[in-house]
Structure 1
C-alpha cells in the first residue's frame, strides 16, 4: 500500500504529500486516512517492514480508569461542577448497590437504588452526626449509575432478578414455537382447567330468586389440536378433585341424556368426541396432582401436571374461558366484568343477578355447541388440511383427523370411568367393619366370606374406592366377585353419618377430639376435687387407727372379724330403719313393727318365743293405746328375730351402743 509512496521524496513534504496520498488511495480504493495511518506506523517504527505488524500486545487489554485520567463526557450546561471520573472502585461499589437495593427488591426503582447507593458509599457524618451526601462532581451521577447498570446487567437478567424466572418465562420470553409442535393430532392432548365464572347466580328455591348465591365454578376440557370442547362442569364447588372428576366424567356421559336434562336440542354432530378419552390430560398442579398425579387407572390416560404459574403451557383452555364468557356477557343477567373488580366505586353488577344454576348451565351448553360448530379464523391450518378443504371449525377438524388417530382413541362407558376416577386407598378391616376414616362399612358378601370374624384375630388391609362427596357407600376390592369389587354400606353403629361428605365427618371428628381434650382437663380437675374431699377423712381414720392400735399386735386385728361384722351390720340396719321411719304427724299406710315392749309382753315366763302376737290397737277407738288386744295372728320371721334379739340383749349377750 505505501511502498510506492516511501520510494519518493515528495511524500516527506506536506505540500506534496497530500496529492500523492490521495492518488494512491484512489488507486487502491481505500480511504486516505488508512494510507496515512500506515505511513505513520512505518515512520514511527523506524522505517522497517516490521513496523507495520499490528500491536498484538496492546489488543484485548481491559480498559481501566486511571485515577489521573481526564473525565469523560460533556461538561454540564451550568458549569456548577466538574465531571466526576468513574474509577474501578466506583464500578464495584455501584454493582454491589445494584444487587442489594435494586435487583433484590422487586418494587424498587432505579432512582431509589441510586439514592441508597449515594447514602451508603458517597456520604459522611458531620460533627452533629448528620449524614451529608457528597456534592455533585465528587460522586457519580444518576446517568453514570444507569450506564453501569445497563452495561453489567442485561435486561433479561434484571427481569429475572426482580420478577423471578417463572414470570420471565410467562410474560417476557421470546415465543418462537407453538403448542401444536408436540401434539400428534386430535385426541392426543386434552387441556383441563377451572375458573370462577364472571356471573352472579340466584337461588333456585321457590320464591327465592331475589337471593344471590354467588359465582359458580367452571371446568372446561378442550382438545388441543382441534379446539373442540369435549367436557365441562358447572357447580358451586371450589376447584377440587370432586369437580374435576365430574368434568372428566362428562366426556363419557351420554350427551342425549345431558341435553334432555337441561332442555337442549341434541344433535350428535355437535359432540363428535363423545366418550373418547385422550392419551394425555394436561392440568395444573392442583386437584389433579393430589389424586392422579401420574395416570388415571382403568382408562390408561396419562396425567401431566404443569409447573406452577405457567398458564402459557395450556393456552387453549386458558384463552377459551375469557372468550366464551365475553360472548355470554350480553346474554346473561348479573355478568360482572373482571375490570370492575378493582375499580373504585364500580357498578354493583351483582344486584342484577337473575339466573339460577340450571338456567346458566343451559346457556353454557348452548355456548359450547356454538363454539364447536363455529369457525376459528386464526386457526393454523396445515397445507394438508388446506388441500383437503378442511374448514377451521372444531367439529369438522375432529371428524377429518379422527380416522388418522383411530388407533390411539379409546372409548369408555360412564360407569367404568366413574369407578376409575374414584380416589383409592388401603384401609383396615376390623371386627366392627372396614374403617374408612370415622366410618365403618360392611356388605353381605364380605360377611359371608368371614372377613370380620378373621379380623378379630388379626386385622388386615384392603383397597377401597370412595366418593369424597358422599359417605353412604364405598367400593371394596373383592376378588371372589365377578366384577372384582363389591359395594359396602355403613354399619348400624355409624348410620348417623349417612348423607354427609367425608370432609363433614372429618370436621365432626375434630370437634369431638377437641371436646375430649377439654373433658380430660375437666376430669383431672374433678378427681382433684374428689381427693380434696376424701383425703382428710382417710388421714383422720388412719391417725385414729394408729392411736387405738398402739401396743397391740397387727395380727390380732382380724381375731373378732365375724362378730364385729355382725355388730356393724346390726348397727347399720337400725340406723337405716330409723332413717326410713316417717316423721311424727306424717300420714302413712304402712303398718309399723311392734315396739320392743309389746314384743316383751308376748314372751312367756320361761323366755320362750310364742307363735302368735297380740293384735295392735285399732285406730280411731277410745281404748287406751297400751291395752292389749287378743289376736291369734302367727309371728312372722322378722318378729321372731326381733324377739330373739330382745332376749339376748336382756341376758347381756349382745352389745348395743347407746342402749
Structure 2
C-alpha cells in the first residue's frame, strides 16, 4: 500500500437492501434501535467531541440505555450506509448456516423428544453409503421413493455397523437433509425426469410462440385429436359410429382458426390434407354447407402461410414435397412427443371440447363401466357428423370474433386500444405487418396436397398399384400405340387414397400442370373403390395366385411323372428293340399314316346311339296258340295243402 485511497464496493450493501418481513424479530430490533437514535442522528454536534458527550447522555437518559449501546448503534448507522436498515441485527450470521460441521462424540442437532435413544452423527462412512444409495436409486428416471431408498441404505449401514441398535440408526430426516444439502434440485430434477418430459413440462420457458412470427399468415400450427364424443349414423340414428377426428389449423400470430377438418378419417396425411386445403377455401361457402350464414368479415381467412408446423407424423415424408415446392410453403416438424412445440393448437383442442361437452350427449366419461344405477355414455349418443361439425364451426366463429386472449403477448407497435381478439389481431397484422396472404386455386392446392408416386407407362395404360388408367392427352401424345408408341417409361402421378377412379398426371416439371386420367376398362373391377380397398384386394389376389402357383407346381410334378412313364412304356415297345432298322420304317410312313387315319376315323366317327330296352318285348302268337310253359311244376299244394280225407 502506498497510502492512496482506493474505492471499494459497500460490504454491507446486501444487508441494507434486503427485505424485512412484517413482524419478524429483525424488524422489531431495527425499529427499536431506530427509535433510540432517530432524534439525534441529524444533529451535526455528534461529529465534534465537545458536544457528542452531551448528546449521548441525553439519549441515555431519555431511553434508559447504556453508553455502549448508544455508541454501538451510532457506529453501525454510520458504517452501514446511514439508513434505517443499517440498524438491522446480524442474525443472518448466526448458526453457521451452510457450513459443514465436523461430527464428534457429541450428537449434533436438536435432542430427541419422542423417539428413544440419542441418535448418531452422519460419519464419512455413512455419507458414502447415503451417496451410493442416492446415485444408484434416486437419480434415474425410474426411481423409488425417498423412503424406499432410505430403507435400502439402512441395509448397508447394518452391514458395516452390525453392533448399532435400531434406535441409534441414522433417521429418515438425516437422510433427507443430506440429500437436499449435497444435491441441488436443478441437477436431481433433470436426472430423475426423462429428456422428453423435462423439455416438455419442466424446462424454463425463455420465449413465446408469437416472437417466432412476422405477422398473421406467417406460421400455422396443425394438429389432430379424437373428439371426446360418440356420434350416430346420418342414415340410421340407431347406429353408433364412434368418435370423430378433429383437425385444426391455427395462425400463431393472431390465434385465428384458419382451417379445420371433422370426420372419421384417422389422423393421417389424408385428413391433414383436407384441413390444409380448407385454409384456402371460401369460408362463406364452407359454412353454408352446414346451414350457417356468415359474412366474409366473420372468417376472413383464405390463403397459404409461409410455414406450417406439424407433428413428426403425417407431414413428415415425401408426400408433402409437391405441395411445399409448388407454393413455397416450408414444412416444419416438431420433435417426437413434444406437444409443447405446438402449444397454441394443443390448447385450443381443450378449449373447443370444453365448450360443447356440458350441452351434448354421448360425451366420453372417465369409465365405461356402469355403476349402480348408471348408464353407458355411448348409448346416449345423438349427434350426427354434420351436426357435430356445425357445433365445432359455431365454436370456431365465436373464438375468432369474440374470444379475448387474456395471456396474449403483444408485439411492438400494437396500440393499446386494440383488443386481443383473433379477428382484430388478424386484421391489424395484415394492415401493418405482413399484408394479404398468398392465394391459389382451390383445385390446384388440393392436387398438390395429394400424395405423389411414380407410375409406369405401357401400351396397356398408365399403371399404378396394379390399376391401369388412360386419358385423352396421353392418347394424343401416342403413349399407348403398340410397337411404335413414344412414351416415357415412368411418370409422376398424384392420387387421392379415397378414390381409385381417377389419378392426376404431372406431365412436366411444372407443378401447376396436370392431366386427369380415368380408370381403364382393364381395371374395371376397381371402380368405386378406395385405394385402401385396391391394396387389400390386390394383396388378396396375390396371395391366392401365390397359393395356386404352389399347387400348380405340385401338380406339374405329377404331370411330368406321367409323361415320363408314358415315354418309358413307349421306349419299351419301340420297333428298334424288335430289330427293325429305322431306314426301313421311314419307307412306309405315308402308307402307315393312311392306315392309322382310317382306323382313327372309324373309331372317332359320330354314330347315333341305339336305345336298349330294359324289358323284353311282348310276343304275339299267331292263330291264338298258347305258349309252351317250360317252368318247374308248382308243388305248394301237394306239400303244404290240407288233407281232406283225414
**TM-score under structure 1 length normalisation:** 0.68
Quote the residue 1:163 is aligned against. 193
Q: Counterpart of 1:324?
A: 352
Q: How many angstroms apart in 1 are the aligned matches of 2:163 and 2:605?
A: 102
> Are 1:500 and 2:500 counterparts?
no
Q: CA deviation at 1:110?
A: 2.7
Contact kept in structure 1, 2:119 and 2:169, CA below 8 Å:
no
- Give 3-state SS (helix, strand or coil) of 2:200's partner: helix
Unmatched 5+ stretches in structure 1? 1-18, 31-61, 125-131, 589-659
Name 2:211's counterpart in structure 1.
181
Structure 1 residue 469: deviation in Å?
Answer: 1.6
Shift in Å, 1:204: 0.9
> Using a 3 Å threshold, how does the CA distance of structure 1 residues 366 and 465 change in structure 2: closer, same or farther?
same
- Please state if 1:560 is matched with 2:585: yes
Other structure's SS at 1:366 match: helix
How many residues are paired up? 523
Q: Deviations over 1:384-412 (max 9, x none)?
A: 77746212222122222211234463122
Q: Does 1:282 align with 2:309?
A: yes
**What is the correspondence of 1:90-239 to structure 2 with a 5 Å cutoff?**
90-104=126-140, 106=142, 108-117=144-153, 136=166, 141-205=171-235, 208-239=236-267
Deviations 1:199-249 (A, max 9, x none): 2211111xx112111111111112222222121111111111111111111
8 Å contact from structure 1 (residues 428, 434) kept in 2: yes
Specify whether residues 284 and 383 from structure 1 end up closer, same or farther in structure 2 by C-alpha distance, changes over 3 A only: closer
8 Å CA contact 1:279–1:408 kept in 2: the answer is no
Measure, in 2, the Cα distance between the counterparts of 1:499 and 1:336: 35
- The residue number in structure 1 matching 2:552 is 523
Structure 1 residue 579 displacement after superposition: 7.9
Q: Which moved more, 1:94-103 or 1:368-377?
A: 94-103
Deviations 1:455-493 (A, max 9, x none): 978852222222222122222122499963221222221
SS state of the match for residue 497, structure 2? Answer: coil
What is the CA–CA distance in structure 2 between the aligned matches of 1:561 and 1:113, rounded to whole Å?
104
1:244-393 matches, cutoff 5 A: 244-273=272-301, 275-290=302-317, 291-292=319-320, 296-337=324-365, 339-340=366-367, 347-376=375-404, 378-380=406-408, 382=410, 387=415, 389-393=417-421
Q: Which residue of 2 aligns with 1:129?
A: none
Partner of 1:473: 502
**Cα distance 1:347–1:584, how it changes in 2: closer, same or farther (>3 A)?**
closer
Aligned to 1:410: 438
Deviation at 1:156, TM superposition (A): 4.0
Provide Cα deviations, 1:407-459, integer angstroms capped at 9, x if missing partner. Answer: 46312231232232122233332332222222222212112212344897885
Tell me the CA shift for residue 258 of structure 1.
Answer: 1.5
Give the 5 Å matches for 1:55-70: none
Distance 2:605 2:494 in 1: 65
Distance 1:381 1:22, change over 3 A: closer
Change (3 A) 1:84 1:571: farther
Cα distance, 1:276–1:568 mapped onto 2, change above 3 Å: closer
Q: Structure 1 residues 239-248 or 485-494, which shifts more?
A: 485-494
Bigger shift: residues 135-144 or 173-182: 135-144
Q: Deviations over 1:38-84 (max 9, x none)?
A: xxxxxxxxxxxxxxxxxxxxxxxx98989x98775567668866745
Counterpart in 2 of 1:514?
Answer: 543
**Contact between 2:471 and 2:516, CA under 8 Å: does it hold in 1?**
yes
In 2: Cα distance, 1:139 partner to 1:545 partner = 107
Cα distance in 2 for residues equivalent to 1:178 and 1:283: 17
Distance change >3 Å, CA 295–CA 575, structure 1 → 2? closer
Counterparts of 2:511 and 2:144, CA distance in 1: 68
Change in Cα spacing, 1:567 to 1:189, as seen in structure 2 (3 Å) is same
* Equivalent in the alignment of 1:485: 514
* Preserved contact between residue 123 and residue 133 of structure 1 (Cα < 8 Å): no
Distance across 1 between alignment mates of 2:146 and 2:400 = 50
Counterparts in 2 of 1:436-451, with a 5 A limit?
436-451=464-479
Unaligned runs of 5+ residues in structure 2 are 1-65, 78-98, 614-646
2: CA distance between counterparts of 1:383 and 1:572?
104
Pairwise CA distance, 1:116 = 4.6
Q: By how many angstroms is 1:383 displaced?
A: 8.4
Mapping of residues 529-548 of structure 1, within 5 Å: 529-531=558-560, 544=572
Contact 1:293–1:304 (Cα < 8 Å) also in 2: no
Normalising to structure 2: TM-score of the pair? 0.69
